[in-house]
A and B are shown apart, each in its own frame.
Chain A
Amino acid sequence: MTVGHLLQQRLRDARWFQIAGQAAILLIGLFALDFGVTPTQIAAAIGAALGAQWIGALLVASRFDWKSALITGLSLSLLLRANDLWPFVLAALIAIGSKFAIRAHDRHVFNPANIGIVLMIVFTDAAWTSTSEWGSPIWLAVLIASLGAVSCWRASRLDVPLLYLAVYAALIVGRALYLGDPLAIPALRLTHGALILFAFFMISDPKTTPENPSQRALFVAAAAIIAYVLQFHFFISDGVFYAPVLLALGHWALGLAGLGGAYEWGRPPPPIRFRDPTLHGSARPAPAE
């Protein structure tokens, strides 16, 4: 009972699910997909993220929050590639540094791993994203989505990946219909492992998505539209990653960040704002409170 209770207490924090999911995907990537990242690079990304978080926490005299930093390190290991170690370290420092340095309304503005990746690939040739490592095998897409769905749901953000993918899908299917292309083309794009990972594990970060559901929907739809426009009209293959940064910049510039209050890790999914059938008695039992 005590162990079960403790476990329930612990698992309240959605980040446990996110860490488990990302670690599992990283292992699959390393062993089944031949990801071009070395154990040393992974260690460097995670180590630098944890180190920066620790120093940041000391400076602002807050609690050392290792889980978020670990997630940032894992995200960088999953999506960023480089020949050397330092781009991973620098990306992690930018990511965590931005959390402490760039804030509005008592929240950080940028998705940490996302801003780390974007600044590195825009301003250096030493790092790149390797979306081609993922490919579009269905099993991988389903696996990432399943792992991601659990942590998103626990963080009250399952609406984010679903809406993001729905808007993105509508755009690329619409494009295919307009061009007269076979639907195999949008299908190929939609099942791309890196896109699914981005939807379920990056843009769904509750700390950098608006707390208010309708604002959040607007934010997510805009991210999908920007990604689509960058990819298919400006031919920027990393458009998916640029979108949240552009949105956060816009959001910040307009002074909108923080509207609707800030998300706190460990909070149960709010039953009123977020109508999740699992909380209201249907198929699955309600999660432990």
Chain B
Amino acid sequence: MSRPTLKKTLIAACSAIAAVTAAGGAAAFCGFYVAKADTKLFNKASKVAIMRDGDRTVITMSNDYQGALKEFAMVVPVPVVLQEGQIHVTDNAIIDHLDAYTAPRLVEYFDEDPCLVYERQEMAAPMASSEDIIVTGSSRKKGLGVTVEAEYTVGEYDIQILSAKESGGLAEWLKQNGYKLPDGAEETLGSYVRQGTKFFVAKVNLKEQGKTGLKYLRPLQIAFESPRFMLPIRLGTLNADGKQELFVFALTRTGRIETTNYRTVKLPTGSNIPVYVKNEFGAFYKAMFAEQVNREAERAVFLEYAWDMNWCDPCAADPMSNEQLRELGVYWVDGESGAGKPSLRRPAPSGGPQDVFVTRLHVSYDAQHFPEDLMFKETGDRENFQGRYVLRHPYKGDATCEAGKEYRASLPRRYEEEAQTLATLTGWDVDDVRAQMMSGGQSFTPPPKQSWWENLWGKDDRKD
């Protein structure tokens, strides 16, 4: 997993406090790095990276398949018959890195002594992450009505490219070959067959898999040209109990991608939330995502990140290197590393040497709310967007000056606002949120108001 990065620069955007100096460093980073809840946060989560430029497409499919390897099989509709060189196996780490780079992030600020200079630092933590269409089964023998266009062994996978003239024939062929088809598969396969789609069927070659020495399956990649910019999700909804999570990472030249047949909505971002969330950022993100899904009647795709790949701010992980980008199909960058190397919040180079724009979409889907495959389009939108949540630690020192008193008097209202924000974002009960905050020593009771004359003559000559 990539090294998290500490920012040295300032973030002025979300604070009312004027003077801000940089603080922190590696040490602070270690102390404050927020527990990350990574790819295991969501069950049944798949991660798909798509490079798209004109009709050129490279899809990298990574999934969290947990069952016996010999049981694994996936059937993916593809627009064309793929040559062996169009199929590739890559490392999990590369998708994990992309996941970490684009993840919603938590940043922390520490209020300084209000009597002195305000000083803050900020951290970033990568968060949660994230297939497709898995039909479990194991191979046996062939039936009829289906043409095996090609067969390859690539990495640990045995791959067949099928074409079919009739849906019934394809379903029958798959069944005869040991695939357990879920109910409704025949109709869905039929729809693809009639659209002229080919089928990419992958199973695990146990011998080859053994050679890799890995306990998991590596992501499969396919490269092809097609005017269709879409991701087939329909087969995957058939055998799912409950919703599935899908993370789509798009690498494009022009700008952000969006779904054309479903609403694409930005995840709420930039909110100040109570500091205790630091210890449960995973739970917060999950609850917030679930709440936003419900608010959009379970029919929306969420934008979690949209950014020029040359930089980040704050960085949840380093931007991808050119080698990594090329591995994911970004054919227009040089293989040489250089740009795209670890950068701490570099300013945006105008027009950037790489011209890679990354979009992270997150969708929680089932057949009822997402009956059609995800259809995408690339837009010219290069506006940066990130899911970012802010913790502001109050100053804990004495701060006896007048400004300090005002500062302390202002805290209860600030806590209340943070509690309300958190409750609204996540659907959590605001009383529970307040209770958590109070157990962390945050009081909602304003300090007793002092009369103007109380400190007029000091306390020395009073008895007591």
Contact = CB atoms under 8 A, between A and B. Distances in A.
A134 B263 contact: yes
Interface residues of A, number: 33
A131 B379 contact: no
B260 A83 contact: no
A125 B194 contact: no
13 contacts: A82-B380, A83-B381, A134-B263, A135-B262, A135-B299, A179-B191, A179-B194, A182-B187, A184-B371, A185-B372, A192-B261, A234-B227, A237-B377
Contacts of A180: 167, 187, 190-191, 194
Contact of B263 (A128, A132, A181): A132
Interface of A: 33-34, 36, 81-83, 124-128, 130-137, 178-182, 184-185, 188-189, 192, 234-235, 237-238
A18 B254 CA distance: 35
A179 B195 contact: yes
Nearest to B297: A137
B380 A188 contact: no
A132 B194 CA distance: 27
Contact of A135 (B167, B228, B263, B368): B263
A125 B263 contact: no
Between B254, B265, B377, the greatest number of chain A beta carbons within 10 A of the residue's beta carbon is seen for: B377
Interface residues of B, number: 35
Nearest to A83: B383
Between A33, A128, A178, the greatest number of chain B beta carbons within 10 A of the residue's beta carbon is seen for: A128
B262 A127 contact: no
B302 to A, nearest CB: 12
A234 B55 CA distance: 12
Between B227, B229, B261, B297, the greatest number of chain A beta carbons within 10 A of the residue's beta carbon is seen for: B261
A175 B437 CA distance: 56
A83 B191 contact: no
Interface of B: 167, 187, 190-191, 194-195, 227-229, 254-255, 258-266, 296-297, 299-301, 368, 371-372, 375, 377, 379-383
Contact of A188 (B187, B261, B300): B261
B172 to A, nearest CB: 16
Given A137-B297, A180-B194, A132 B381 contact: no
Between A137, A182, A238, the greatest number of chain B beta carbons within 10 A of the residue's beta carbon is seen for: A182
B94 to A, nearest CB: 28
Given A125-B255, A237-B375, A181 B191 contact: yes
A235 B262 contact: no
A265 B228 CA distance: 42
Contacts of A137: 297, 299
A279 to B, nearest CB: 38
Given A34-B265, A184-B372, A185-B372, 12 more contacts: A34-B266, A83-B380, A130-B258, A132-B258, A132-B259, A132-B264, A133-B263, A180-B190, A182-B187, A188-B371, A189-B372, A235-B228
